Homo-oligomer: A and B are copies of this chain.
Amino acid sequence: MSNKVLVVGSGAIGGFYGALLAKAGADVTMTCRSDFETVKRRGFRIDSRELGSWRFFPRRLVQRSGEYGGEPDFLLLCTKVKPDLDRAELIRDAVGPNTAIVFIQNGIDIEAELQAAFPDNELISGLAFVCCNRIAPGEIQHLAYGRLLLGNMPSGVSDKTRRLADLYRTSGIEAETCEDIVGGRWQKCVWNAPFNPLSVLSGGLATQTILQNQESLVRRIMTEVQAIAEAAGHPLPADIIERNIAMTRSMPPYKTSMLLDFETGQSMETEAILGNTVRAAERLGLDVPCLQSLYALMRLREQQSATGLGGKHPSHN
C-alpha cells in the first residue's frame, strides 16, 4: 500500500508531523521555501523530549508543490491560516484525483476554501494538540503533547484517515480518529479563542499568568465558544471548560502561537481563530460580547502594527 506524502509548510507543525510519517515508513516529500538551502544541506533536526532526537532527511525536498510531479496519496497542509495566504493556490499543482488533502491547521470554518477548490477530493481535517517550536531553520523542538485528531469533512472517518492515524501511532504519538471533526475543531477553539488573543493583548503574558489573574474572563470566553458550538450542532462535552482550565494550569507557562507571530512581526491567525468564530455566532444569532470585544481589539492591534503609528498626538484629559 503506497503512502506517498507531500507536506506543504515546513514550520514547526509541518516539520514535526512530516518527520513522524517518515519515521513510520511513509515516502515523505517536504516543501520548503525560506529554509530550503539549510534543510537541503542538513535535513531537519527534531529534538523531542518524549521521542528522542533525530535528523530527518525527506525523500525529496521541493520549493513549490508543483515540483512534486507525481500524485501524493496524502497532501499535508501545515501552514498557518492567514488572509494573505491562498491555501488552495499553494497546493493546487500537486493535488491529483486520488490525493487526500489533510489540513493540520488551527481555526474555525477554514475548510470552505479547500472544499470549493477541490470538491472531488477527500478532505481530512486534522487537529494537533502539541507544543513545538521552530527554533532555527530546519530545527524543531518538540516540548510536550503531540496528539493528533483526524476526521473527514464534513464528518465520518474514511479508510485513508484510519491509515493515516495508524501511521502516526506507529511513529510513537497518540492519534485518534473522530466522526465529528468539526466538533473537535470547536473543542480546540475553546482553548485557542481566549488564550491566543489574551496573550497578545496583555502584552505578552504566558498562559498560566493569564489564567491566574483573569480566570473569570477566560471562563466567560470559553462559555461563549461552547454556546456557539452547541448552536452550530456540535455540542461539546459538559466538562470541556474545566478540562481546559485544568490542562492550562498543569502546562508549563507557554507563549501562544499568536503571540510568537506577533513578536516576530508576522501576521496572526486572528481571522481563523477569532473572526470566523464571531461570524459563526452572528450567523447563528448569538450574542458573544467577550469574543466580539477581543476580536475588535485584535483588529485594532493589527491596524496599529500595520500602520506603525505612534506619531506624536496631543493628549486629551
Residues on A close to B: CB < 8 A?
Answer: 12-13, 106, 128-133, 141, 143-144, 195, 198, 201-207, 209-210, 213-214, 216-217, 220, 251-257, 259-260, 289-290, 292-294, 296-297, 299-301, 303-305, 307, 309-310, 313-317
Q: How many copies does the complex hold?
A: 2
With contacts A293-B217, A297-B297, A300-B213 taken as known, whether A315 is within 8 angstroms of B202 at the C-beta atoms is no
Having A213-B299, A290-B292, one finds 17 other A-B pairs with CB under 8 Å, namely A12-B315, A106-B317, A130-B316, A131-B317, A133-B315, A201-B300, A202-B297, A202-B301, A203-B305, A209-B307, A214-B300, A252-B313, A254-B313, A256-B316, A257-B315, A260-B315, A289-B290
Contact of A217 among B143, B257, B260, B292 (CB under 8 A): B292
| A305 contact set on B, CB distance < 8 A | 203
Contact of A220 among B255, B289, B299 (CB under 8 A): B289
With contacts A293-B294, A296-B217 taken as known, whether A316 is within 8 angstroms of B255 at the C-beta atoms is yes
Q: List 24 A-B contacts (CB under 8 A).
A: A12-B315, A106-B317, A130-B317, A198-B300, A202-B300, A202-B303, A203-B305, A205-B304, A207-B316, A210-B300, A213-B303, A214-B299, A216-B296, A217-B296, A220-B292, A254-B313, A254-B315, A254-B316, A255-B315, A256-B315, A257-B316, A260-B315, A289-B293, A290-B293
